[in-house]
Structure 1
């Protein structure tokens, strides 16, 4: 058993919860539930994940006390709109973390990756990371599956560095504890579960995607700053101008041309400005 509990809004909305002290992968548990015909609306949360994964098959390192949480949902929306659920998760994580953090905890991001207004305690890094003080605090992984009756099932995986952050990562990482914040994974999860209800309700099976993307832009890391995106060994540099209505990163290059990025590894500030 674990100490996890849903927040009051999540309980009222009918969400369910399965908690673990240790598990291989919360995303795998959610995918297995989808294959077994679960109708969705269930969280799988663990204090220790031994076989977690991130984007592009990367390993997600987690130690006991960090949060691994995956939500299974079966949304009634097109594939194009379902793809924007990562932004729903980002905004929800932003709100959830902000709810448990004392005011004034963070200074402006150290590498140009601060929020759009230059004052954000938490910033959202395209496409699916949450930064604190310019360092990675949380990551999001969406995976798709099918229910036995052929509907699209989506697993929204969230990992939060609560007590420890991995070393040697491509982008600097931090944890709540390293930032002087003593909160438990259970406290973070409860706040996240309630924040998800709010933002997912706004998304409204994709009808409110524009409003969600606008909230995401309001906390975006590096808007208006130099950005470098690496795609399959090729690096494209420019200015991070915005995300479009589909959630694509829009970069403006030196001659004013704008081009969309659908996937890639993003770096800001001095790293983005360096010429190789």
Structure 2
């Protein structure tokens, strides 16, 4: 059996005896034991005392549709939130739903992804309860070519949400990272489908670290950080609602006017604005220069040995040269 129903019965204050768990779930004690082992494989730490039962070493703040809807208020009407205990990838599943005609505003959020993806095929996987991982389907009456700069615009929405929640120190890094001075807080992955002249469908995947265990940090191939380290003491439902609320405002504005009205705000939030930088090119070579800013279409303005060049997302990676 899945460990998720069992984990939802456990708190971190009181022990729950095994027979009580089995009765509540309508399963055998052997099934409870198997589910407990599966929970350990998910990285959930349990405290066990013979004769008293089991409890969580620390609480898990579960995603909850009603809590998100309350926090969204009137903006809840823009979204249809579906929650999953476990899924391969919210982006993959939502792209499939989009292909079958799913409506704009559909949101998939998961407690755990088994094949979560980041930019350029990198794995995205958060520890249970420690990360917010969700995808949003949004339909535009625009062609795919008219969506240039969309991932940067979404970064502005995320940054606005974090600022509204009192998170200081969160910045943007071209083209799609949310960062702070200690490392990466999260990222954005967008996938497009549609006609050249429109309409088009976009699946927007967003992942944010609320907490980051040292073991998880050590397994990553780049410096990483968490919102908790920046002082965020809220939970994932509040965070999800805050980001969706900002997207409800920004996405229609983007459809009407594109990225250009957001360029100055994006630059003001750019962690590498005016700093020495290194462009890592697809052939493995690198170019040293300065991150000058952002163009109206979302291209990076990069000052190198041969003068300014404009680079579009997907062609290169930007790294600090300091």
TM-score normalised to the size of structure 2? 0.71
Per-residue deviation at 1:35?
1.3
Question: Please, what is the CA RMSD of the aligned residues?
Answer: 2.2
Structure 2: how far apart are the matches of 1:101 and 1:50? 31
| CA deviation vs aligned residue, 1:71-105 (integer Å, no higher than 9, x gap) | 10111113222132101210111011222235xxx
**Counterpart residue number, 2:52:** none
1:65-84 to 2 correspondences below 5 Å: 65=129, 66-84=131-149
Structure 2: how far apart are the matches of 1:213 and 1:77? 20
| CA deviation vs aligned residue, 1:177-219 (integer Å, no higher than 9, x gap) | 334432222111010010111222321x152421122221121
259, 265, 269: which one aligns with 1:209:
259
**Counterpart residue number, 1:117:** none
Structure 2: how far apart are the matches of 1:206 and 1:249? 22
Of the structure 1 ranges 128-137 and 234-243, higher mean CA displacement relative to structure 2 is found in 128-137
Does structure 1 retain, via aligned residues, the 8 Å contact 2:278–2:288? yes
Does structure 2 retain, via aligned residues, the 8 Å contact 1:75–1:152? yes
Gaps of 5+ in 1: 107-120
**Counterpart residue number, 1:97:** 162
Q: Aligned pair in 2 of structure 1 residues 76, 166: CA closer, same or farther (>3 Å)? A: farther
Structure 2: how far apart are the matches of 1:29 and 1:99? 30
**Counterpart residue number, 1:264:** 316
**Counterpart residue number, 1:86:** 151
64, 79, 84: which one aligns with 1:3:
64
Structure number with higher helix proportion: 2
Whether 1:45 aligns to 2:109 is yes
**Counterpart residue number, 2:127:** 63
**Counterpart residue number, 1:138:** 186
Larger Rg: 2
Per-residue deviation at 1:168?
4.3
Does structure 1 retain, via aligned residues, the 8 Å contact 2:63–2:236? no
Q: Aligned pair in 2 of structure 1 residues 166, 83: CA closer, same or farther (>3 Å)? A: farther
Relative contact order (C-alpha < 8 Å, sep 6+): which is higher? 1
Per-residue deviation at 1:146?
4.6
1:231-270 to 2 correspondences below 5 Å: 231-232=281-282, 233-254=284-305, 257-262=307-312, 263-268=315-320
| CA deviation vs aligned residue, 1:5-56 (integer Å, no higher than 9, x gap) | 24125314x3211122332211122112101111211111122222100111
Per-residue deviation at 1:61?
2.4
Structure 2: how far apart are the matches of 1:245 and 1:48? 37
265, 271, 275: which one aligns with 1:221:
271
Of the structure 1 ranges 51-60 and 2-11, higher mean CA displacement relative to structure 2 is found in 2-11
Structure 1: how far apart are the matches of 2:188 and 2:226? 15
**Counterpart residue number, 2:211:** 163
